């Protein structure tokens, strides 16, 4: 066996293991998960369970907004989609892009609908009618009980346009754009707290692409005007998204952090993964690369915070404000137009999403925001056609995390068998990775006023892993709820007429003041256990 888990080295725990075995058959050798409630990483921010709505394909039109459809209300909101959205308990929703925002003028999407101009949508090659804009999104955000997070256009847009949008949204009354909002039927300000200074500005594909120095100058001045308009807003810088071999993403991030360390509150990072070579074990290990990138950028932030002049403000945090699996719909004909990026997901994709979420929780001290891209139809957990919706496989791990995993993230010790990957294509373009000592069990744990929530991926495709779960301080006590995301095989998919992958609530187990219990984690599964630790 090999030991994995930061900070524990070769420490061997001597403890009597209670022979309570839960669920399934086992392999010969036990793994171990050791929980110490004193080993705190940081508080889990609810905003890591965010999502993303972009004017792309059928995310907005034909997704959340479908006027004239019998399943929509009088405002054009698809009620079946909204019900599915509410199940995700989405904390924070990014809008309106994405690549879309880099040629978007927010003024086109406000005011009387019959006066709004249709525009060529250049990022994803479709017509933008502008029938859904700022105020429609805010109405929707209230109905889904999410906090809005707006991205401003720092591509073709100006710093003045960015300032005017903040004025329109956040200033109660007086200046022109605040009064214009009131004229449009919204007497109270929207009070949007989070604002992104552009999107993927390091990418050559971005309209208005800039180098790091020029982006930093524009972002600094936009942020200045926006903060003068509303000092209480939080600003997010566009971090590196271009990981092609001929580009240095670390140089971009280092420059942006150095130039904007006194300006911004977050730096945004993006990652999309894919199973290009149809290698299950490589694919399910890939979120570990996100975790490594997180640690690299954290080191850069720490260095800059030593030189920053931020007063009583928090340090800069990381926002993974685009992440998902996206590789099937990458051909030209599937990336543009009305039905762009309509990826269908299977069980192995759901396990990778669980891996992302475990990584966010394990890095709760620095990752304070994350947004799955996107909400409906477009590389999304919810898929809608004119006559109904179904929940994709990736819906279920996100739902479990967003409704259960809060409190303090704990630095847990995991002792299990490992494997090595070969070189494999990680995600978009030519990104490659090789990872050694990948633990079959991928674990995150939170602790909140005596309640412990344990999230475990068993990456093994074929074997159950019997695991001793040990509490070093305090005793497990009472009823443990158990939820499992699984399916008949790793390629199992959901559709309108079948749900092969879903969350199943297993039979709860009562544990009476024991310092350990044993659980059998089934192959290719994500399991969440929720119970109490008492003194």
Residues annotated as catalytic are 200, 322
Q: Report how far residue 206's alpha carbon sits from residue 56's, in angstroms, rounded to the nearest whole number.
A: 15
Q: Report how far residue 513's alpha carbon sits from residue 123's, in angstroms, rounded to the nearest whole number.
A: 58
For 62-115, the DSSP string reads TTTB-TT-TTB-TTSBBHHHHHHHHTTT--EEEES-SGGGGG--GGGGSS-GGG
Cβ atoms of residues 171 and 189 within 8 Å: yes
Q: Compute CA distances 398 → 63, 158, 302, 360, 417, whole Å.
A: 19, 36, 30, 12, 26
Q: Report how far residue 83's alpha carbon sits from residue 70's, in angstroms, rounded to the nearest whole number.
A: 15
Residue 245: which of 429, 434, 423 has the closest Cα?
Answer: 429
Residue 375: which of 388, 359, 392 has the closest Cα?
Answer: 392
- How, if at all, do strands 50-52 and 92-95 pair? parallel
Burial group, residue 208, by CB count within 10 angstroms (0-12, 13-18, 19+): middle
Handedness of CA 527, 530, 531, 535 (dihedral sign): positive
Number of residues assigned to the chain: 535
State how far Cα 146 lies from the chain centre. Answer: 14
Residue 62: which of 119, 148, 113, 127 has the closest Cα?
Answer: 127
Q: Report how far residue 96's alpha carbon sits from residue 289's, in angstroms, rounded to the nearest whole number.
A: 28
414 forms beta bridges with 4, 33
For 1-64, the DSSP string reads -EEESTT-TT-----PPP--EESS---SS-EEEEE-TT-EEEEPPGGGGEEE--SSTTSTBTTT
For 132-160, the DSSP string reads S-HHHHHHHHHHHT-EEEEEE--SSS-HH
- DSSP assignment letter at 339: T
3-class state of residue 224 by DSSP: helix
Dihedral, CA of residue 61, residue 66, residue 67 and residue 68, to nearest 10 = 130
Q: What are the φ and ψ backbone dihedral angles of 201, each rounded to 5 degrees?
A: -70, -10
Q: Compute CA distances 216 → 77, 201, 530, whole Å.
A: 38, 10, 44
Q: Report how far residue 444's alpha carbon sits from residue 35's, in angstroms, rounded to the nearest whole number.
A: 10
């Amino acid at each position: 066996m090999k030991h994995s888990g930061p900070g524990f080295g070769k420490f061997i725990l001597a403890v009597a293991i209670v022979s309570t075995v839960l669920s399934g058959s086992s392999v010969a050798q036990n793994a171990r998960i050791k929980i110490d409630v004193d080993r705190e990483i940081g508080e889990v921010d609810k905003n890591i369970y965010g999502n993303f709505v972009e004017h792309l394909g059928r995310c907005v039109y034909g997704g959340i907004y479908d006027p004239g459809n019998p399943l929509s209300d009088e405002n054009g909101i698809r009620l079946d989609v909204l019900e599915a959205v509410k199940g995700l308990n989405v904390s924070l929703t990014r809008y309106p892009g994405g690549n879309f925002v880099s040629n978007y003028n927010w003024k086109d999407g406000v005011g009387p609908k019959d006066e709004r101009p249709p525009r060529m949508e250049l990022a994803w090659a479709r017509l933008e009618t502008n029938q859904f804009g700022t105020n429609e999104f805010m109405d929707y955000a209230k109905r889904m009980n999410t906090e809005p997070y707006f991205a401003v256009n720092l591509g073709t847009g100006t710093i003045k346009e960015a300032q005017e949008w903040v004025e329109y949204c956040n200033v109660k009354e007086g200046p022109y754009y605040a009064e214009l909002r009131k004229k449009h039927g919204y007497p109270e300000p929207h009070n949007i707290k989070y604002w992104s200074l552009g999107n993927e500005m390091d990418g050559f594909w971005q309209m208005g692409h800039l180098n790091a120095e020029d982006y930093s100058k524009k972002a600094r001045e936009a942020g200045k005007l926006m903060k003068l308009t509303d000092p209480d807003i939080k600003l997010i810088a566009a971090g590196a998204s271009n990981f092609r071999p001929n580009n240095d993403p670390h140089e971009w991030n280092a420059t942006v952090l150095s130039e904007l360390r006194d300006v911004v509150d977050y730096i945004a990072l993006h990652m999309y993964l894919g199973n290009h070579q149809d290698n299950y074990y490589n694919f399910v290990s890939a979120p570990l690369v996100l975790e490594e990138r997180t640690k690299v950028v954290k080191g850069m932030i720490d260095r800059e915070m030593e030189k920053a002049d931020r007063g009583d403000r928090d340090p800069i945090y990381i926002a993974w404000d685009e992440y998902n699996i996206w590789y099937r719909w990458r051909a030209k004909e599937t990336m543009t137009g009305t039905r762009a990026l309509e990826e269908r997901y299977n069980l192995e994709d759901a396990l990778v999403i669980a891996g992302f979420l475990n990584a966010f929780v394990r890095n709760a001290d620095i990752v304070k925001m994350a947004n799955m891209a996107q909400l409906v139809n477009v590389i999304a957990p919810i898929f809608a056609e004119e006559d109904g919706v179904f929940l994709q496989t990736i819906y279920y791990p996100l739902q479990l995390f967003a409704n259960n995993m809060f409190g303090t993230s704990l630095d847990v010790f995991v002792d299990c068998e490992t494997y090595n990957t070969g070189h494999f294509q990680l995600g978009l373009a030519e990104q490659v990775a090789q990872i050694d000592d990948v633990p079959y069990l991928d674990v995150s744990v939170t602790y909140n006023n005596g309640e412990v929530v344990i999230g475990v991926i068993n990456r093994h495709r074929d074997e159950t892993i019997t695991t001793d779960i040990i509490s070093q301080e305090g005793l497990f006590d009472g009823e443990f709820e158990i939820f499992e995301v699984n399916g008949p095989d790793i390629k199992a998919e959901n559709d309108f007429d079948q749900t092969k992958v879903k969350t199943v609530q297993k039979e709860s187990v009562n544990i009476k003041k024991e310092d350990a219990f044993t659980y059998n984690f089934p192959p290719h599964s994500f399991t969440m256990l929720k119970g109490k630790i008492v003194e």
